[in-house]
Amino acid sequence: MSKVLRPLLAVAALLLGAVAALAGERVALVIGNGRYEGTAPLTNPVNDARDVAQKLEALGFTVVSGFDLGKREMELKIGAFSDLIEGAEASLVYFAGHGVSDRGGRNFLVPVDGHLDAPGKLKFESIAIDDIAELMSQQTAVSILILDACRNNPFARAPQGTRGAADASAGLAAGNSYAGTYTIYSAQPGAVALDGTGRNSPFAAALLKHMATPGITVETMMGLVKTDVMAETNGFQEPDASGLLGKPFNLVTGAEVATRAIAAPDAAETPAVPGIAEQAQIRQFIESEYLDPDIVNLEATIARVYMPEANVFGTFANQQEILLLKKGFFDQFLRWELSLYPGTLEITFASEKKARAVFVLKYVYWPKAKPDTPAEGNFKAALDLVEQDGRWKIQSEAAVN
């Protein structure tokens, strides 16, 4: 953390100590900056931030928010946020406005009073994102950064209607994956994030649409947001993400992953009890199809593995929608290894053609952003399966407790 920021955080902690007692299990910091003094103003960041803050509050988050903030005001808001997240279950930061990076690739958020007319001013006139990310990851098990800021634009100018800044070597730099933090960017490296012509930016509109969907993980939500933004901008803007969460997490407080109930066999029927052969078929299906998908032929894999409509972590989707979700997820990684944790697979049958498989899934991912830093972990998964035309297919997949 910078020497400039640390004492201000300490002062803020003293001033806002009484507020700390109100801290909830999930805490968010939401900032929208649009009325810039030293570079191109933006129309929608304040609208975006107000709407996101309202949505997060409705989802049970304790929200610290601020709009059109100068540097000292931003530091005080970060101080209040720091005081509240100690011991919280999750922390989230949403920023809409101008974002820049220095020549070393370090990312910064720009206050409205930032005057970045020389490279040397950047660290004094703006807020380093890695300071905020460090704060979050040290104090909460789940930390999420959502940055609706431009990732392009050279030092001298920022195109009207985009969210870069006019005073750094570039917008937000590529390849920044903050340890312990899942980071969502509104645009790819080298691309611009549109401010939009309506009330919200294309990215914020998609985020607001999907963030309250019950039962879906943040990663699944990101896939839905990405699909909507690309459709809205005709492929011009493509959101990006880096990092991994240590466990499945959704934004809806207390939400349980919705699954289709497997109908119990009719009492008058006496179905045959599936034996070792059927259990072996399901194990083989999980290991060879579900955990080792053919990514080169992903469309055919989805058609082979999933029912025509399936519940994918709380979202009912057809096979084309499932394809987009899975592709968006796997595109983040160079390679991965998925496997069953030994001795955890439990299979129960509702009938000869319906089964439920529950197991611990082990994963290791090598992110494209940091291929030398793999992320690994595990979570408990449940698959509701239906036998169709002699093959087992997934009717729903979920993360369970």
User: Over pLDDT 90: what percentage of the chain?
Assistant: 43
- Single out the residue of 99, 83, 103 nearest to residue 91, CA to CA: 83
User: Among all chains, which residue has been given the structure tokens 């169709």?
Assistant: 388
Confidence of residue 283 (pLDDT cuts 50, 70, 90): very high
- Cα separations (Å) of 150 from 110, 239, 324, 369? 11, 11, 24, 18
CB 256 within 8 Å of CB 216: no
Domains and CATH numbers, the chain: 5-242 (3.40.50.1460), 276-399 (3.10.450.50)
Distance CA 213, CA 221 (A): 8
Question: pTM of the prediction?
Answer: 0.59
pLDDT of residue 174: 53
- Judge whether 377 and 363 are in contact, CB under 8 Å: yes
- Element spanning 19, H or E: helix 17-20
User: Which residue type does 343 have?
Assistant: G
Q: 177 falls in which pLDDT band (50, 70, 90)?
A: low
Asked if the model's pLDDT at residue 316 lies above 60, the reply is yes
The model's confidence at residue 266, banded by pLDDT at 50, 70 and 90, is very low
What pLDDT, on the 0 to 100 scale, is given for residue 274? 58
Mean pLDDT in residue range 171-175:
58
Q: What's the mean pLDDT in 371-394?
A: 89
Query: What confidence tier does 326 reach under pLDDT thresholds 50, 70, 90?
Result: confident
Residues 6+ apart with CB under 8 A from 209: 224, 225, 228
Highest mean pLDDT among 76-90, 271-285, 329-343: 76-90
The separation between CA 200 and the C-alpha centre of its own chain, rounded to angstroms, equals 19
**In the structure, what pLDDT confidence band is assigned to residue 190 with cuts at 50, 70 and 90?**
low
For residue 36, how far is the Cα from the chain centroid? Answer: 28
Residues 323, 299 contacting (CB under 8 angstroms) = yes
Of 386, 89, 14, 112, nearest in space to 250 by CA: 89
Angle at CA 37, nearest 5°, toward 35 and 39? 95
Higher pLDDT, 79 or 378: 79
Report how far residue 45's alpha carbon sits from residue 67's, in angstroms, rounded to the nearest whole number.
Answer: 8
CB atoms within 10 A of CB 270: 8
CA 26 – CA 62 distance, rounded (Å): 6
Calpha distance 20→11 (Å, rounded): 14
Instruction: Tell me which of 63 and 6 has the higher pLDDT.
Output: 63
Give residue 19's pLDDT.
Answer: 38
Residue 13 has phi, psi (to 5 degrees) of -65, -40
Q: What is the predicted pLDDT for the residue at 308?
A: 94
Q: Judge whether residue 160 has pLDDT over 70.
A: no
Residue 69 has pLDDT above 70, yes or no: yes
Q: Do 313 and 397 meet the contact criterion of CB atoms below 8 Å apart?
A: yes
pLDDT class of 205 with cuts at 50, 70, 90: very high
Lowest mean pLDDT among 70-74, 159-163, 321-325: 159-163
Strands (E), 38-89: 62-67
